Chains A and B, each alone.
Chain A
Amino acid sequence: MNKKPTFSLDQEAQFSILFDKHYQRLYNYAYKLLNDIFTSEELVQETFIKLWEHYHKIDKSHRAIESFLIVTLKNKIIDHFRKDQTREKHNNLYSLYSDMLSEINTQWDLLQQIDIIYENLEQKTRDIFQLSRNEGLTYKEISIKKNISIKTVELHISTALIAFRKGLKNYL
């Protein structure tokens, strides 16, 4: 009787790590498509629940887990749109969702591409760009924080933007 809870604790610890690794990205992705905090959180939760249920029989490599998560989440988003569509049909507000299907795939490719671009940036450039993008700091604030000149900040930003323009040229 003691064995099982111990095992599940282990699995909980593993899931804690998986949440840290994947949750924010999956949430970003869901939110971009759904534009709804509540539904996005729900669907990502359900995705992790499904992973939990299938965890014993899937490969524990990063790639396998990531692809399980994303395939599950994509399907949940598709289901969600389908349900919405049925609801709208009932209200005689017919809408197409085939555009949505390609959007679902494109969005994920795009997010992955953004991750790759970030990874290929130099650490310093990435830090500075993210201070601007995610923290909303001005160049002046960044220059003080990083103890560099504003010109250098601008240079890093510009380097990052060139990389993004190049890396995302198929999406922009």
Chain B
Amino acid sequence: MDKSHISKAELWAYISKTADPDTIRKVELWKDSSEYDKELFSQITAIYLNTKEYPVSVEDAKNRFLRYPRNTKQKTVSKVYKLLKYAAMIAIIVTAAYTYQQFSESTSQLISEETSFGENKQLKLPDGSVVWLNASTLLTYKGNTPRTISLEGEAFFEVAKDTAHPFTVTTSDGLKIEALGTSFNVKSYSNTSIVETKLLTGKVAITSDKYLKERVLLAPDEKVIFDRNSKQFFKQDMVKREGRIAWREGKIEFENQSFREIANDLYVQYQVKLVFKNDEVANSKFTGVFDKNTPIREILEILKTSKEFDYHLITATDEWVIK
């Protein structure tokens, strides 16, 4: 073996860790000899390092990209899917809904009203009832039955009196909230595990073909929570301040709520997702009131003062990782 001469190919094999034992021995001897060309060795090492490809799944990245909600165009599409999923109904764009409304009194045309992230909207139904929609909410009804509402999201109802026609709100689980001359709030976002009905005035009955043998009656200042996981109903008195329905005043309110529940309120308001990497933090409870225009970062900072956690933002997905 010629110890004094090393070919580039041998050196490359050595540096790229593909050399056989003979070549390794040869190169190592050469490195200790006077023939050692330090510059050549470092150049080939640099070529090795710089031509490195870092394995990454382009397909995964692509899918993640295509799933990412982008502009209003995209949103319209996803809302349509939501609608289809919701009740296999005909999709109507919101702007068109107003036009339809005028002609639909005597038709079974489907009317939908929706709000996007962080948006609130007040509307008057053809029967005179007034509805406030909280953020990320979709409300639908047929033109000829404006007192039979389907709801996805959260809304506050002030129902016009009409004893001959019951006013009902149906959630995606088939929960039916029936009212006669009443003001009440229904919270039923599909990405949370509960449906909550709060009654302020009047009388409300909750029925469900699937989950209830007899109806649950609500008196003013009571609320009923339906747990989607256990399929159970819980009736509670409202805490005094709950009756205010904070979101109608442009406020986000947490009353002894877990961080996980708060995360959903923040999602519908800010379109930001909170991802929890720490269950203890996710389950800790907070109480507080914020203006809706408080930046999310500030809210997190304030929450941080009562419970230690770390957070950082992944801008591409708008996800805040909470640790």
Q: Chain A residues in contact with chain B, CB under 8 A? A: 1, 4-5, 7-8, 12, 15-16, 19-20, 23-24, 27-28, 31-32, 37, 40-42, 44-46, 48-49, 52-53, 110-111, 114, 132-134, 136-140, 153-155, 157-158, 161-162, 164-165, 168, 171-172
Residues of B within 8 Å of A132, CB to CB, are 12-13, 16, 18
Residues of B within 8 Å of A111, CB to CB, are 50
Question: Roughly how many angstroms separate A46 CA and B317 CA in the complex, as a whole number?
Answer: 9
- Contact B9 A157, beta carbon cutoff 8 Å: yes
Question: Which of B51-59, B192-200, B251-259, B280-288 lies at the interface?
Answer: B51-59
- Contact B18 A172, beta carbon cutoff 8 Å: no
Residues of B within 8 Å of A20, CB to CB, are 58, 62
Q: Chain B residues in contact with chain A, CB under 8 A? A: 7-10, 12-13, 16-20, 42-44, 46-48, 50-54, 56, 58, 61-62, 64-66, 68, 70-71, 73-74, 76-77, 93, 314-317
Partner of B8, one of A24, A139, A161: A161
Given A24-B56, A27-B54, A168-B46, A49 contacting B68 (CB threshold 8 A): yes
Residues of B within 8 Å of A45, CB to CB, are 61, 64-65, 68, 316-317
- Contact A158 B9, beta carbon cutoff 8 Å: yes
Given A42-B316, A136-B17, A171-B46, A23 contacting B56 (CB threshold 8 A): yes
Identify which of B16, B50, B93 gathers the most chain A CB atoms within 10 Å of its CB: B50
- Contact A4 B73, beta carbon cutoff 8 Å: yes
Identify which of A23, A111, A161 gathers the most chain B CB atoms within 10 Å of its CB: A161
Residues of A within 8 Å of B44, CB to CB, are 161, 165
- Contact B9 A161, beta carbon cutoff 8 Å: yes
- Contact A138 B64, beta carbon cutoff 8 Å: no
- Contact A1 B93, beta carbon cutoff 8 Å: yes
Known A-B contacts: A1-B76, A138-B20, A139-B13. Give 7 more (CB < 8 A): A4-B77, A5-B76, A23-B61, A27-B54, A114-B50, A137-B18, A161-B44
Question: Roughly how many angstroms separate A114 CA and B48 CA in the complex, as a whole number?
Answer: 11
